[in-house]
C-alpha cells in the first residue's frame, strides 16, 4: 500500500531554482518595462527612481514558505489520484452509520399450535323419496321383531316388490365439505325411522348401523345430528356410496349373500357391497 510522505521528508532543493527563477523573471520585467519609457526631460530623476525600485524588491520568507507548501500539496494530491487511494481505502461506509442506528433486539413471540377446524354445521335443504338397491339389484326391506327394526337386502320380484322400503333422503347444506360429497339423512318413508351409525356398546371404534325412531329429524342439530348423517358420493358408473359422517371411512354395505342385514363396513373390506343404485320413486 502506498504511503503519503511527510512534509519534512520532501526535499525542497527541487523548488529552489524555481523560486529563484520566479523572482528573477519578476525583476527582469520591471527593468524591461522601465527601459521603454522615454522621458528625456527627467533622466536623472528616472535613474534614481529606477535604482530605488530595484533595491526595494525583497524575497519575503513567509511567501516562499507558503509557496513551498502549495507545491508540496499539489504533488501529494496528484500521487493520491494516480494510485486511486480514495477508491481502494474506504474510510467511512454505510455500515459505520447503520451500526449505530439499527440495533438488533430480541423479539418475543408466542408459539401457537394449529387449531382444529371448526365443526361442520349442517343446514336442512329438502327431502326426496327414492328406491335404493345395491349393485346386484338386491332390495332393502325393513324387518321388525319385538320392537327392534333393521334393514335386510334380498331379491324381490312380482308382488313381493311391495315389501321394498322407500327411502326419504333428506339433503343438507354443509360448510367445510367439498362439492362431491352431499350430506344426507336416510329415513323410511311413511315412518319416523332413520338409519343411524353409532359406536357399539363397549367398543367405541366399532360403528353399528341401526334403525332408530326420531319424531322430527330436523330438530336435531350439530352433535345430535351426526349419527344420522351420511355423505352421499356419486361415482362415475352412476353408483352411489354412503359414508358415515361420525365415522369417516365406514360405509353402508350389504352382503353378497341374500337376506343378510345391512351393516357398516370399512372401506378396505372388499367382500361387501357398498355401491348402490338410487332411483326416483314414482
- The C-alpha cell that represents 215 in the structure block: 319424531
Q: How many other C-beta atoms can be found within 10 angstroms of the C-beta atom of residue 196?
A: 22
Higher pLDDT, 187 or 28: 187
Query: Is the pLDDT at 48 greater than 60, yes or no?
Result: no
Query: Is the pLDDT at 166 greater than 90, yes or no?
Result: yes
pLDDT at position 92: 52
Distance CA 138, CA 7 (A): 114
pLDDT band at 83, cuts 50/70/90? low
Per the CB < 8 A criterion, the answer to whether 150 and 262 are in contact is yes
pLDDT tens-digit profile of 173-202? 988 777 789 999 999 999 999 999 999 887
Percent of residues, the chain, with pLDDT higher than 70: 63
Residues in the chain: 282
Query: Is the pLDDT at 10 greater than 60, yes or no?
Result: no
* Lowest model confidence (mean pLDDT) among 8-12, 44-48, 128-132, 156-160: 44-48
154-157 CB contacts, 8 Å cutoff, 24+ apart: 154/258, 154/259, 155/258
Query: Is the pLDDT at 21 greater than 80, yes or no?
Result: no
What CATH code would you report for 122-280? 2.80.10.50
pLDDT at position 245: 95
Average pLDDT on 264-269 reads: 95
pLDDT at position 176: 78
Per the CB < 8 A criterion, the answer to whether 130 and 279 are in contact is yes
The DSSP bridge partners found for residue 236 are: none
Give which of 220, 233, 193, 192 is closest to 209, Cα–Cα.
193
pLDDT, averaged across the chain: 77
Give which of 69, 68, 88 is closest to 80, Cα–Cα.
88
Query: Is the pLDDT at 27 greater than 70, yes or no?
Result: no
* Lowest model confidence (mean pLDDT) among 41-55, 150-164, 203-217: 41-55
Query: Is the pLDDT at 236 greater than 80, yes or no?
Result: yes
- DSSP character string of the chain: ---PPPGGGS-SHHHHHHHHHHHHHHHHHHHHHHHT---GGGHHHHHHHHHHHHHH----HHHHHHHHHHHHHHHHHHHHHHTTHHHH--SS-HHHHHHHH-----------PPPPPPPP-EEEEEEEEEEEEETT-PEEEEEEETTEEEEEEE---GGGGGGBPEEEEEEEEESS--TTEEEEEEEETTSSEEEEEEEETTEEEEEEEEEEE-S-GGG--GGGTGGG-EEEEE-TTS-EEEEESSSTTEEEEB-SSTTEE-EEEETT--SSB--EEEEE--
pLDDT tens-digit profile of 200-220? 887 888 999 999 999 999 999
Domain ranges of the chain: 7-32+43-101, 122-280
Amino acid at each position: 500500500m502506498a504511503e503519503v510522505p511527510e512534509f519534512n521528508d520532501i526535499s525542497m532543493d527541487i523548488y529552489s531554482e524555481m523560486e529563484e527563477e520566479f523572482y528573477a523573471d519578476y525583476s527582469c520585467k520591471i527593468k524591461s518595462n522601465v527601459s521603454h519609457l522615454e522621458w528625456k526631460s527627467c533622466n536623472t530623476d528616472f535613474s534614481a527612481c529606477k535604482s530605488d525600485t530595484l533595491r526595494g524588491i525583497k524575497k519575503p520568507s513567509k511567501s516562499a514558505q507558503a509557496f513551498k507548501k502549495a507545491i508540496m500539496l499539489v504533488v501529494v494530491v496528484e500521487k493520491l489520484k494516480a494510485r486511486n487511494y480514495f477508491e481502494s481505502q474506504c474510510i467511512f461506509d454505510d455500515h459505520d452509520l447503520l451500526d449505530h442506528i439499527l440495533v438488533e433486539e430480541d423479539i418475543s413471540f408466542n408459539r401457537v399450535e394449529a387449531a382444529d377446524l371448526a365443526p361442520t354445521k349442517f343446514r336442512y335443504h329438502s327431502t326426496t323419496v327414492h328406491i335404493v338397491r345395491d349393485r346386484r339389484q338386491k332390495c332393502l326391506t325393513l324387518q321388525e321383531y319385538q320392537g327392534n327394526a333393521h334393514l335386510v337386502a334380498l331379491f324381490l320380484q312380482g308382488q313381493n316388490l311391495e315389501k321394498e322400503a322407500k327411502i326419504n333422503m333428506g339433503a343438507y347444506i354443509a360448510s367445510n365439505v367439498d362439492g362431491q360429497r352431499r350430506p344426507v339423512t336416510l329415513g323410511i318413508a311413511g315412518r319416523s325411522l332413520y338409519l343411524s351409525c353409532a359406536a357399539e356398546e363397549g367398543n367405541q371404534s366399532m360403528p353399528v348401523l341401526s334403525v332408530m325412531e326420531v319424531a322430527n329429524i330436523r330438530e336435531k342439530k350439530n352433535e345430535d345430528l351426526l349419527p344420522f348423517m351420511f355423505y352421499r358420493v356419486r361415482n362415475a358408473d352412476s353408483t352411489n356410496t354412503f359414508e358415515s359422517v361420525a365415522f369417516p371411512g365406514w360405509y353402508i354395505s350389504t352382503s353378497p349373500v341374500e337376506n343378510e342385514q345391512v351393516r357398516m363396513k370399512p372401506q378396505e373390506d372388499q367382500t361387501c357391497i357398498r355401491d348402490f343404485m338410487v332411483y326416483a320413486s314414482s
